[in-house]
Structure 1
Amino acid sequence: MVMMPQRIQPALLLSTLAVDAAFASTSPILAVPSQAWASLNASVSGRLHIAAPAGLPCFTSYENAWGLEANVPNAEQCQKAEAGLTSSIDIIQAFGSYHNPTFSTCMARGERCTLSANGPKGIVNGTCFQGTVPDYYVDAREVQDIQRSLEFAQQYKLPITIKNTGHDYKGRSAGVDTFAIWTHNIAPELKIDEEFTPEGCPGPVGPVVTYGAGQIDTYLYDSLNGTGYLTVAGSCPTVGPSGGWIAGGGHSIFAPVYGLGVDNAIQMRVVLPNGTFVTANRCQNQDLFFALRGGGGGTFGVVTETTAALHKDQEITYVFLQMPVPEVPRTINEIFVANAEKWADEGWGGLYAVSGNVTNSTARFLGFNTKLSVEEARASLKPVTDYLESFTSSNETLISQFKTLSSQWAAQNDPVLLGFLLPEAGVSLTRSSRLVPRSNFHGEEAQKQLVDFLMSQNFRWSVVLGTPTKYILPESDRPGGPGEASVTPAWRDALWHFTIVQSWDPADPVATSPEALSRTFSTISTQIDPLRAITPDGGAYQNEADVYEPDPIGSFWGAQNYARLLKIKKQLDPDNLLSCWNCVGWNPEDERHGCYLKVRGIGP
């Protein structure tokens, strides 16, 4: 028998939750005695909680691991939940809230607890389903909280989910019937050290910044503003630079010149699956350092702290171009492709895109450059500006901004950049992507293949200029060196990170049906197959990749890196308690992945 807990104050429920030892359930969570949970709660200073989806206050019934019961909705809390649906800062404050809400639902069964930013508001006369929101979580505030949690999971063989901000496009920070460790609140004041010596290393490596696992981009940039330094991190304000961003590689608008996030990592502190707290850098625990920098999040341990390189802050040349193109956009696509290599070699970061349809498309270019002056930028981009200006007499409005920004802070807080990113918060979407090698831009035939592919994409694509095109990898970080990272080698030769996106209303019962979602994921996955076919030496950025990527090993890591990663994984976590979708050593038929769909033969 299960005594169902009340839903008002989950933090206070543990003393009242009683699970009959004879309860028949396949969930390892429910097999743990209530006294054990109480003991764990005491060992983590009362930071163990029962988790609930963020939309629960708006529903009249609730089904989770303990069964189905009536729920007393709360109009005030419901209104608050609805108000924060598309606020990135609000989303990350609640454990049961996810940037991409569909990945907190059970897609395979059409069970959800999602709200709509555009649909009807107020109380829903229906059931809130737990979906993939973990059943229990520890709100970790210090290393000991993580150690006790992992030791507990080892004792009871509990599948573990690690969540930081929940800013993930593949649902890797959620999992059915899992026990979660939430690192969002491990966010002490960041520290700058101008002559930092990594632990175990013979001497200083220069200026660095150290921040906790729960630190977010916006605070990082605010804190560095005025210090004379910049650092490589993400562009979305609530991405955790010490979390999944760096674990997946970490691209940036400054990566073309300063390298990926993994290249800028100097040292990382992590709690291993057995509870041991260690430091990894280029001088010690190099295998772990290799794995943490590109091996994927939620797999090798729980990172508590990252130390990253600092660079001299400087003025940045900024360009924004936007204009409707009053013709079939083949010519603008040809210009983008023909100039891709030149622009990469000149250090441009940012993005460009064409969207719309065959009779009404819009071209956009957003660029940041630390190497070129404004005048040099005008000369660099003259092929595209000349083309766009040729239409100004036809009453088409051209936005053309060339200016100097004072610092990295000004660049990362650019309204246009944020305008591209912030609308994704709280919206259900899926991506498919490809890293396109330099060789695919060489010669007329290769360029024509790319343009033909772009013309087949319904004019809804974007190219992120976040590959390390001008960054020279030091000898220490090349294959076989102590600082080698585990990202796919395709990053080192790619000019484009090409992406397509499909979005839908997370509360639409039609769009979120298993049949509709299967079609959506299948369509966007197969849509990029022609690009995969012409880029055999390419890869994919695992953080923004196709959920049903047909070749995750080859695309995310490469066979050689993956073999090394899998060996490390088996040594650190032989029971595979830390796992997630598409992660190293994962089993797609694992029960924690039971709410994913089966698409392209991939899935439970």
Structure 2
Amino acid sequence: MKRGQKCTLTATEGVRNDTCFQGTVPDYYVDAQSVEDIQKSLRFAQQHKLPITVKNTGHDYRGGSAGVNTFAIWTHNFAPDPVITENFTPDGCPGPVGPVVTYHAGQIGTHLYSSLQGTGYMSVAGSCSTVGPSGGWVAGGGHGIFAPSFGLGVDNAQQMKVVLPNGTYVTANRCQNQDIFFALRGGGGGTFGVVTETTTLLHKDQEFSFVFLQMPVQDVRAANEILVANAERWSDEGFGGLYGVTGIEPGSNIIFLGYNANLNLNETKATLKPLTDYLQSLPGSESMLLEFKTQPNQYAAQNDPALLALLLPEAGVSLTRSSRLVPKKNFQTADGQKAIVDALMANKFGWGAVIASPTNYTLAESDQPGGPGEASVSPAWRDSMWHLTYGTNWDPADPVATSPEALATMFQEISEAMDPMRAITPGAGAYQNEADVYEPDAIGSFWGEKNYARLLAIKKQLDPDNLMSCWNCIGWDVNDERHECYLNVRGIGPSN
């Protein structure tokens, strides 16, 4: 298989008369619909030393659910209805943790939110409803629009059942198999085993204040300054969602899409008044889209047309991004705010700050570093305010845009665009599920050195042959055959 051999379908292209190649799509798939299917698949892979890929939805920016010459375990159809337990006690634990919902490997957010509608409960899962909450989402940390108030996915998970690489089926929680529980909650998907089900906390469903704002602005620096100046206050007040500016050229759109579990609608309008007053003072303010409303429950919030419209452009599109978790301390001085604005203005891609850090969530004592429920996500999540992203896309049907040379340039540019922000946030991290493919410090950004050392020891014990691996995963080999379609960017990539 040579780099560039592909058969990419696009939403804008009709029937193709062309020679197609396998590309990074695995050669063999198992449609796993039970624990037994997964066990047999993993034992077969062990017997024949086959590199393994795990896939539910394939919602993965870094390609972890695909791989050249791999044996794929597809879990998408292992999705019985979610089950609510009113007072759940994790296996081997001394007492109950309260109401939970249990869902299986193939579950996606759409079905989960629908199943909880009308029950009086809500659950933390992905902002994009096509994400699989039992798969790579929680394995990478699990952010979403409700994480600021209710915690990350790893904080809410109470128990996980997993088939290990050798085919053994185990239960992991805060009372047993704590190392595995640690690894599954932040160590990255497709690495330590195939999770078959996740049990996560339920919260009382409630109303949410909602705002959507969009308007073209001529003075992009001024727009950035007002968003940065108010960022700490909005974070402290519990907003989740996204805001940013779509470019650096005059006429770029400022966007604010926010949910708040703590403020009523009048309070929400009041706290956003500096932004709305500023925009309404500008020429052309009559073009501003501005909507405030109360969402009656999680289902309505998750299915709001503005949120769905914001997420829709990513469906079926070839895109990549770079990202950074920006600490709260960077926003707390005038010099710090200016440095952030300068870094935002230094990139040509525009930006979006995903407001999904657990800023209003108190981490349980059991989950503090060293505790039985510690998660392996980057510690940077705990003191960040922004999950900052820059993004770009290309037409997969364009032979010029998809040449190795053009793609290498584009990936290099999007990666280097984040360098000014990396420079002013030393020691901070990145969300591995939405990270730069060629993140220059993956270990430090995704896990931190301490977490990585523990994860690597667990990995070597569970999967000594490294059959379950993916790009930038724990214990990966950059020159593994499954990565040969990746480019060499910033000195990161296969040597061939």
Query: Is the TM value for this pair above 0.5?
Result: yes
Whole-angstrom distance in 2 between the partners of 1:557 and 1:356:
30
Aligned equivalent of 1:251, options 143, 146, 150: 143
Question: 1:31-180 to 2 correspondence within 5 Å?
Answer: 109-119=3-13, 121-124=14-17, 126-180=18-72
Aligned equivalent of 2:89, options 186, 197, 205: 197
Check if 1:502 corresponds to 2:395. no
| TM-fit CA distance, 1:355 | 1.5
- 1:251-302 CA-to-partner distances (Å, cap 9, x unmatched) read 0100000000000001000000010000000010000000000000000000
The answer (yes or no) to whether the contact 2:54–2:72 under 8 Å persists in 1 is yes
Distance 1:199 1:520, change over 3 A: same
Check if 1:285 corresponds to 2:140. no
Whole-angstrom distance in 2 between the partners of 1:447 and 1:437:
12
Aligned equivalent of 1:305, options 193, 197, 206: 197
> Secondary structure of 2:92's match?
coil
Question: 1:425-574 to 2 correspondence within 5 Å?
Answer: 425-458=315-348, 460-574=350-464
> Secondary structure of 1:597's match?
coil
Amino acid at match of 1:256: P
Aligned equivalent of 1:329, options 195, 206, 220: 220
Regions of 4+ moved over 6 Å: none
| TM-fit CA distance, 1:457 | 2.2
| TM-fit CA distance, 1:341 | 0.9
| TM-fit CA distance, 1:111 | 1.1
The answer (yes or no) to whether the contact 1:323–1:396 under 8 Å persists in 2 is no
Check if 1:340 corresponds to 2:212. no
Amino acid at match of 1:456: A
> Secondary structure of 1:175's match?
coil
Name the counterpart of 2:280: 389
**Greater Rg, structure 1 or structure 2?**
1
Amino acid at match of 1:338: A
Whole-angstrom distance in 2 between the partners of 1:451 and 1:242:
37
Higher relative contact order (CA 8 A, sep 6+): 2
TM-score by length of 1: 0.81
The answer (yes or no) to whether the contact 1:111–1:131 under 8 Å persists in 2 is yes
Whole-angstrom distance in 2 between the partners of 1:318 and 1:581:
37
Whole-angstrom distance in 2 between the partners of 1:361 and 1:149:
50
Amino acid at match of 1:367: G
Check if 1:242 corresponds to 2:134. yes
- 1:28-50 CA-to-partner distances (Å, cap 9, x unmatched) read xxxxxxxxxxxxxxxxxxxxxxx
Can you give the 5+ residue segments of structure 1 that lack an aligned partner in the other structure? 1-105
TM-score by length of 2: 0.98
- 1:543-582 CA-to-partner distances (Å, cap 9, x unmatched) read 0000000000000000000000000000000000000001
The answer (yes or no) to whether the contact 1:246–1:294 under 8 Å persists in 2 is yes
Check if 1:294 corresponds to 2:162. no
Amino acid at match of 2:270: A
Name the counterpart of 1:90: none
| TM-fit CA distance, 1:156 | 1.1
The answer (yes or no) to whether the contact 1:196–1:208 under 8 Å persists in 2 is yes
The answer (yes or no) to whether the contact 2:327–2:384 under 8 Å persists in 1 is yes
Question: 1:353-432 to 2 correspondence within 5 Å?
Answer: 353-391=244-282, 394=284, 396-432=286-322
Whole-angstrom distance in 1 between the partners of 2:110 and 2:274:
35
The answer (yes or no) to whether the contact 1:488–1:556 under 8 Å persists in 2 is yes
Can you give the 5+ residue segments of structure 2 that lack an aligned partner in the other structure? none
Distance 1:335 1:151, change over 3 A: same
| TM-fit CA distance, 1:380 | 1.0
The answer (yes or no) to whether the contact 1:354–1:459 under 8 Å persists in 2 is no
The answer (yes or no) to whether the contact 1:433–1:497 under 8 Å persists in 2 is yes
- 1:421-456 CA-to-partner distances (Å, cap 9, x unmatched) read 122111100010000001111211111000111112
Amino acid at match of 1:355: T
Amino acid at match of 1:202: P
Whole-angstrom distance in 2 between the partners of 1:118 and 1:455:
33
| TM-fit CA distance, 1:395 | 5.6
| TM-fit CA distance, 1:357 | 4.3
Whole-angstrom distance in 1 between the partners of 2:34 and 2:349:
48
> Secondary structure of 1:372's match?
coil
The answer (yes or no) to whether the contact 1:437–1:537 under 8 Å persists in 2 is no
Whole-angstrom distance in 1 between the partners of 2:349 and 2:226:
15
| TM-fit CA distance, 1:366 | 0.5
Whole-angstrom distance in 1 between the partners of 2:164 and 2:215:
51
Name the counterpart of 1:589: 479
Aligned equivalent of 1:575, options 455, 462, 465: 465
Whole-angstrom distance in 2 between the partners of 1:496 and 1:513:
33
Distance 1:210 1:395, change over 3 A: closer
Whole-angstrom distance in 2 between the partners of 1:396 and 1:323:
9
The answer (yes or no) to whether the contact 1:324–1:396 under 8 Å persists in 2 is no
Percent identity of equivalent pairs: 70
The answer (yes or no) to whether the contact 1:322–1:400 under 8 Å persists in 2 is yes
Whole-angstrom distance in 1 between the partners of 2:421 and 2:45:
42
Check if 1:261 corresponds to 2:184. no
Name the counterpart of 1:22: none
> Secondary structure of 2:246's match?
strand
Amino acid at match of 1:227: T
The answer (yes or no) to whether the contact 2:79–2:105 under 8 Å persists in 1 is yes
Whole-angstrom distance in 2 between the partners of 1:380 and 1:538:
28
The answer (yes or no) to whether the contact 2:10–2:316 under 8 Å persists in 1 is no
Name the counterpart of 1:77: none
- 1:297-337 CA-to-partner distances (Å, cap 9, x unmatched) read 00000000000100000011001111121x32111211111
The answer (yes or no) to whether the contact 2:107–2:132 under 8 Å persists in 1 is yes
Whole-angstrom distance in 2 between the partners of 1:449 and 1:396:
32
Whole-angstrom distance in 1 between the partners of 2:285 and 2:299:
36
